[in-house]
Amino acid sequence: MRLQNRLHLVTTAALAAALGLGAAACDAGGTTGTTTTNDDPNTVAYAGFALTGDEASDDSFTDDANPEPLIDALGDAMGGDEGEEVPSADEVDPGELDEDVADEGPDVIARTVLFVWGKPIADPDFEATTTWRGGITTSVGRVRPLRKVRFEATDHLVRDGDPQIVAFSTVTGPHHDGVLVRLVVPRRMASLGGTLSFRTGVFQKSVPIADLLDGYHEAFRVDDAGNALLVSTVMAHRCPHGLMRLRWERKDARGGIFGGKVFGHDGALVGRVAGVWGKVGERRLFKGFFLGPMNERRGVLKGSYAPFPDGVDADGGAFRGVWTLRGREVQGVLAGMYRVAAEGGEGMAQGHWLARCLDGAAPSCDVDLALPAPPAPDCACEPDAENADADLCACVMEPGPDACVRPEPLSTERPSDAPAE
């Protein structure tokens, strides 16, 4: 049975300073570092960092704490741009790397979208390979690549001369590949009826452009070998915003460590995060460092996660959180979905972040107000005509309202030919 886990994360927020960062962690992953026996049900600790249920506390993630043990334990998840660089000139069509390409302005609607395919849960014993040859296509407007994800020698983008396609050929084994793209469509009602599609010989799926506008996270199970397709985007916002791609490792049955990279809406690396996740009492929580591009400490992130309901044929769920500077004033929000590995294994997460706008009369925003738990996704099954599958199951999650985080979308988002309200 193919499984589609669809998470509509319509961001009920628009938080924080021009710190283009955010992050989160979720249910699984695992490797090295200083650990404890975690016998206390109210605390978990890994790599020398503890997590408690006290949201008023930063726990071990204080100003004078050194994040290096976590960074070292997470390895290449916190590393440089190897395999995740900006496409080279010989991989894209002429003009696609031109900084003057108009992807913002009053006549267009633009979104940054992250596609990841292959194994969301690493399987080091998996020896077979899957060749993904095809492209990401739009039925209206244009799409161009911003950044490659985990590309190796066998992986490359393909120049095709078509502004509506980002063509690629990649090979996955125990891990995954991906592309961060920029979708630009005319600001007209007809654009909302278009689709952004993933088309390969292995799997294909179309996403309505209208669904991408409010922030969107979706995962599809591709085959019984554990391959999947994950799609994420973020609503446009007048303050800093973007996407994140994370890895986490399960240390034991109760939790582990997480970390990864945070990207701006233009695909630039704007920061990293590293922290601890786990079950504390009856709550599923995460907390960690909010780091700059050079791993300098910029704040603390914290939040919670909720697994998919029992009976769903996928390991993972949704996460939601905030990040703060010194004290308890919230600086931004983050949300997304995760896939979880068994004990000792490595999973992944991807999501979005939005900075709180502080250039006007922004209300004070305390952690207690801004940090409700994410609701469990609601799951149902339906036919899948695109892949001739009679039983595709979907999981949808819409977070509840944030008390002090208000949406502040761009004023140009409304289609120019929309009927008067």
The arithmetic mean of pLDDT across residues 371-394, rounded, is 64
Q: How confident is the model at residue 174 (pLDDT cuts 50, 70, 90)?
A: very high
Q: What is the pLDDT of residue 371?
A: 57
If one counts the domains in the chain, the total is: 2
Same domain, 250 and 361: yes
Task: State the burial class of residue 183 (Cβ atoms within 10 Å of its Cβ: 0-12, 13-18, 19+).
Answer: buried
From CA 12, how far away is CA 341, in angstroms rounded?
29
**49 domain residue, yes or no:** yes
Same domain, 215 and 310: no
- Please tell me what DSSP assigns to residue 369: H
Helix (H) or strand (E) holding 70: helix 68-74
Q: What is the pLDDT of residue 125?
A: 87
Q: What is the pLDDT of residue 324?
A: 81
Same domain, 95 and 177: yes
Reading the block at residue 405, the tokens are 């985080």
Same domain, 115 and 191: yes
From CA 145, how far away is CA 151, in angstroms rounded?
13
The arithmetic mean of pLDDT across residues 112-137, rounded, is 93
Higher pLDDT pick, 418 / 137 = 137
**The last residue of a domain, from among 202, 233, 264:** 233
Same domain, 252 and 308: yes
Cβ atoms 187, 415 nearer than 8 A: yes
Same domain, 99 and 35: no
Same domain, 93 and 228: yes
**55 domain residue, yes or no:** yes
**403 domain residue, yes or no:** no
In this predicted model, what pLDDT tens digit does every residue of 209-253 receive, in sequence order? 998 887 778 888 888 888 889 999 988 877 888 999 998 788 888
The arithmetic mean of pLDDT across residues 182-194, rounded, is 91
From CA 121, how far away is CA 342, in angstroms rounded?
9
Q: How confident is the model at residue 149 (pLDDT cuts 50, 70, 90)?
A: very high
**220 domain residue, yes or no:** yes
Portion of the chain with pLDDT greater than 90, in percent: 25
**The last residue of a domain, from among 197, 212, 233:** 233
Q: What angle do CA 214, 219, 223 make, to 5 degrees?
A: 160
Same domain, 77 and 99: no
Higher pLDDT pick, 166 / 385 = 166
**420 domain residue, yes or no:** no
Same domain, 244 and 175: no
Q: How confident is the model at residue 116 (pLDDT cuts 50, 70, 90)?
A: very high
* Predicted confidence (pLDDT) at residue 382 exceeds the cutoff of 60: yes
* Predicted confidence (pLDDT) at residue 354 exceeds the cutoff of 70: yes
In this predicted model, what pLDDT tens digit does every residue of 260-279 receive, in sequence order? 999 999 899 999 999 999 99
The arithmetic mean of pLDDT across residues 49-62, rounded, is 83
The arithmetic mean of pLDDT across residues 298-324, rounded, is 79
Q: Residue 342: which domain range?
A: 9-81+238-379
CA atoms within 13 A on the CB side of 92: 20
Q: How confident is the model at residue 171 (pLDDT cuts 50, 70, 90)?
A: very high
Q: What is the pLDDT of residue 327?
A: 60
Q: How confident is the model at residue 16 (pLDDT cuts 50, 70, 90)?
A: very low
**408 domain residue, yes or no:** no
Q: How confident is the model at residue 362 (pLDDT cuts 50, 70, 90)?
A: low
**215 domain residue, yes or no:** yes
**398 domain residue, yes or no:** no
Same domain, 259 and 229: no
The arithmetic mean of pLDDT across residues 386-398, rounded, is 61
From CA 166, how far away is CA 170, in angstroms rounded?
13
**The last residue of a domain, from among 189, 216, 233:** 233
From CA 238, how far away is CA 335, in angstroms rounded?
18
Same domain, 227 and 313: no
Q: How confident is the model at residue 381 (pLDDT cuts 50, 70, 90)?
A: low
In order of 162, 315, 371, the CA distances from 368 in angstroms are: 49, 29, 6
Q: CA nearest 182: which of 210, 141, 139, 220?
A: 141
* Predicted confidence (pLDDT) at residue 181 exceeds the cutoff of 90: yes
Same domain, 105 and 226: yes
Reading the block at residue 195, the tokens are 């689709």
Mean model confidence pLDDT for the chain: 77
Return the minimum-mean-pLDDT range out of 56-60, 302-306, 391-395. 391-395
* 132-136, 141-145, 246-250, 279-283 — most confident range: 132-136
In order of 122, 178, 212, 271, the CA distances from 188 in angstroms are: 42, 29, 15, 34
Q: What angle do CA 236, 379, 247 make, to 5 degrees?
A: 55
